[in-house]
């Protein structure tokens, strides 16, 4: 895992599965974690938040066109979000709850764009190098 350097853009991604969760503090909790991390690490938090409300990670709906995660990935591909941006997410399971091999492939495709992904619950920074380095085992276990 690579440390996050200052002056980079950070983008928040949040997801939850049920309407009941939306009625609670789920969104605010996830966004507050992102704000705190960005402030602590001198990152410029992009005003855009990508939120998939009520989309199951088990079925991968957040990866399909029309979903916020899909839109986030497309924005990176189209250089509307810098390739060295930091994606802030509460935990790995916010990105995917698919089977581990499929989740790994999705995660790999995001990291291959050049962005870093920070999982805020454990403060781990994931980069393309994480896919080949000694931290690869940690990545697989986190899925």
Cα 55 to Cα 125: distance, rounded to the nearest angstrom: 25
The catalytically annotated residue of 7, 12, 17, 49 is: 17
Rounded Cα distance, 18 and 20, in Å = 5
Under a CB-based contact definition with an 8 Å cutoff, are residues 125 and 49 in contact?
no
Residue 56 is classified by DSSP as -
User: Taking a C-beta distance cutoff of 8 angstroms, is the pair 126, 116 a contact?
Assistant: yes
Residue 17 annotated as catalytic: yes
Catalytic residues, by residue number, are 17
């Amino acid at each position: 895992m690579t440390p996050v350097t200052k002056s980079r853009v950070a983008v928040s991604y949040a997801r939850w599965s049920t309407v009941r969760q939306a009625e609670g503090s789920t969104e605010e909790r996830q966004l507050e974690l992102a704000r705190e991390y960005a402030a602590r690490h001198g990152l410029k938090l992009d005003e855009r938040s990508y939120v998939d409300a009520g989309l199951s990670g088990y079925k991968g709906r957040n990866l399909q066109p029309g979903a916020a995660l899909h839109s986030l990935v497309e924005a990176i591909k189209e250089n509307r979000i810098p390739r060295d941006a930091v994606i802030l997410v509460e935990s790995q399971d916010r990105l995917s709850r698919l089977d581990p091999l499929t989740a790994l492939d999705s995660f790999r495709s995001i990291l291959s764009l050049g962005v870093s992904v920070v999982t805020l619950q454990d403060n781990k920074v994931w980069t393309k190098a994480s896919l080949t380095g000694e931290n690869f085992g940690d990545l697989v276990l986190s899925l």
